[in-house]
Structure 1
Amino acid sequence: MLTVGVDIGGTSVRAGVVDPRGSVLDTSRAPTPAGERALEDAIVAAVEEVADRHAVSAVGLAVAGFIASDRRTVRFAPHLAWRQADVADRMSDRLGMPVVLEHDANAAALAEHRFGAARGAKTAVLVAIGTGIGAALLLDGEVFRGAYGVAPELGHLRVVPDGRPCPCGKNGCWERYCSGTALSATAVELLAKHPGVSTVLAREAAGDSRAVTGRRVAGAARDGDPLAKRAMADLARWLGEGLALVADVYDPEVIVIGGGVSTSAPLFLDDARERYSAVVTGAGHRPLARIRTAQLGDDAGIVGAATLAREMAAQMPPQTASRASKNHSRRS
């Protein structure tokens, strides 16, 4: 049984055909449009592009936003047009196949548990570090969503009272100190305090401080730039502090670090592990979670969403699945 997973982010819509072993067989990509109807059109086009080349039975959508507990409705997505939208039903009607929704971090965590870094773990946490922080919790291999489908928002734990402002409306959230955005903000602050330490980043910031992106800071740290390395050390410190909080609350067996920033893990992860092991409650007197980097990379959301779609399709009555397949064949 082949299914389609679609990773819907603020910048791109990526669809992939996934087999039961978690292998991505085919993909398509399109920019994320601004409007609600245009976004749904882009999803339909991306799915149909790969479905025309493969016999697929269901679709899973990994969405960067709050998903209702029944996984049919997008309550809110900060970078997408949907607001209290019955996306699953609308997409199913248009595609002629069953459609299920999932938060993108939950989908990625499920994929890592089935096929990647958290495989076999009874209790696992995914921390996806990108522009902000996305997070997911798995208990006995099942995604924990909370009472209303929005747990766990670890990126918005307040770690610095009256700290940096966050788009969520609070100040001092973890993701303001541990993310690609945080890496950029820390570097700009250090440049203001120590303007002569990094001639490379200082020259770029002089034209426009927005040029000092997290990706650029990571690249400079990789090249040995002293100020960029200090910014990276600050990120490592806050990652360790945050992971200690996560361990105090959930006591997981494994913590998977994913997201775009995880590609620079050799620059910060050892220091973060050391900080975590030093400040976690009961340090030196308790087993510590294994901290691993994600194995599936950018495909994790696609693989997880497709896996959920496969499980949903397998639970459907045979006549319903057959009817959905015929509807899709007719529309194709």
Structure 2
Amino acid sequence: MATPRPPRRRRAPDPRRVALQQRLRQQTRRVFIGDGPAVGVDIGGTKVAAGVVDGDGRVVAQLRRETPTTSPQGVEDTIAEVVEELAAHHDIVSVGIGAAGFVDAERANVLFAPHLAWRNEPLREAVERRVRTRLGRRVGRRTVVENDANAAAWAEYRFGAGRGESRLVCVTMGTGIGGGIVTQGRVVRGRYGIAGEFGHMIVVPGGHRCECGNRGCWEQYASGNALVREARELARSNSPVAHHLLELAGGNPEAITGPMVTDAARAGDPAAVELFEDVGRWLGIGVANLAAALDPGTVVIGGGVSDADELLLGPCREAYRRTLTGRGFRPELTIARAELGPAAGLVGAADLSRGWG
């Protein structure tokens, strides 16, 4: 007869493991506050755009102010002003603020914003305090701060080009490159809240100097600034192929802008078309890198440079296919143009403030 085994002694729970489990539960807990009207704010380098967004992603009221250049506190005053004005006419459930730069994991503080001189700025607290002072009450049940590219990615996932996609990456091409990742209905923010800074991947070691201090960042080759830099350099060389661009700029190479290059390319100007081919090629190389690292189903291209549409996306798709690792042995992702335009940032910020993502 087999001898019965003595009962196993239960180990005391590891306090570190218990604390980790509690922290993970807190991080993944969603608290929805309904689909009522929410305020979204998008802080740009030159303007602060704000709007009331309904549960279907429609902007039902919108305001715009110039971005103060005097101090971070001036920007916070402007945000409080637009929130106050919108809240006077709508029953707001929450407020979402989209800001360029690094936002902490608690979505409360801007750790670093290159264009607004914010360093460890408690933006959520500052705006809530100003709104209470102006209105004598709190607006909505929650205020959150979100990276502006994350907000745009979420808007495209919920209401735009990424609808129906479970794994999406959004690349926003403005003066630089912003990025956002959405996987299975969640924004991927990373351990410290700063995931998605694709623009600062090094693609050309020792290349063009970036505002971040490094050299060879992706945004130095695939952004609005890159497009304008190359166009001006071509015009300064007195090359005959730059004649049309110089005409548009009144003969001054330094007056060439991104929209000018876009207009010239749409009109069939060979130099402008080639400039977009170069930017599109670098864009496609970066997208192939993102495919290798993240394996999304769709990459959405947004921002002002994407207004060029197939002049940009055609060369992008070609370069992506040419440089994709394992092509022919793996599915290829979809590269799509963003659908929501300049409103994406404020729409996404408003929707995320309700408890989504």
Using the size of structure 2 for normalisation, the TM-score is 0.84
Query: What is the identity, as a one-letter code, of the residue corresponding to 2:278?
Result: D
- Deviation track 1:76-104 (CA, whole Å, cap 9, x = no partner) reads 11111422111112212332133100000
For the pair 1:54 / 2:90, whether they are aligned, the reply is yes
The structure whose RCO (Cα within 8 Å, separation 6+) is larger is: 1
User: Match for residue 24 of structure 1?
Assistant: 59
**Does structure 1 conserve the Cα–Cα contact (< 8 Å) formed by 2:156 and 2:339?**
yes
- Deviation track 1:33-92 (CA, whole Å, cap 9, x = no partner) reads 021221111111111222112111211000011101000111111111422111112212
1:207 positional shift: 4.9
1:189 positional shift: 3.2
* Root-mean-square deviation (Å): 1.6
1:123 positional shift: 1.2
Question: Within 2, Cα distance between the matches of 1:192 and 1:92?
Answer: 49
User: Match for residue 191 of structure 2?
Assistant: 147
Question: Within 1, Cα distance between the matches of 2:73 and 2:318?
Answer: 48
**Does structure 2 conserve the Cα–Cα contact (< 8 Å) formed by 1:121 and 1:141?**
no
2:150 match: secondary structure: helix
**Does structure 1 conserve the Cα–Cα contact (< 8 Å) formed by 2:232 and 2:254?**
no
User: Match for residue 88 of structure 1?
Assistant: 124
Query: What is the identity, as a one-letter code, of the residue corresponding to 2:115?
Result: H
1:311 match: secondary structure: coil
**Greater Rg by CA:** 2
User: Match for residue 319 of structure 1?
Assistant: none
**Does structure 1 conserve the Cα–Cα contact (< 8 Å) formed by 2:234 and 2:242?**
no
CA gap of 1:194–1:288, structure 2 versus 1, over 3 A, is farther
Question: Within 2, Cα distance between the matches of 1:25 and 1:88?
Answer: 24
Question: Within 2, Cα distance between the matches of 1:125 and 1:205?
Answer: 35
Question: Within 1, Cα distance between the matches of 2:161 and 2:251?
Answer: 41
1:194 positional shift: 6.4
Task: Give % identity.
Answer: 48
1:198 positional shift: 2.4
Using the size of structure 1 for normalisation, the TM-score is 0.90
Question: Within 1, Cα distance between the matches of 2:214 and 2:129?
Answer: 39
Structure 1 residue runs without a partner (length 5+): 313-332
Report the count of equivalent residues. 312
Greater fraction helix:
1
- Deviation track 1:2-39 (CA, whole Å, cap 9, x = no partner) reads 11000011111111001111111000010000212211
Question: Within 1, Cα distance between the matches of 2:72 and 2:312?
Answer: 39
User: Match for residue 2 of structure 1?
Assistant: 37
1:268 match: secondary structure: helix
Structure 2 residue runs without a partner (length 5+): 1-35, 132-137
1:272 corresponds, among 307, 316, 330, to 316
1:217 corresponds, among 255, 261, 274, to 261
1:164 positional shift: 1.2
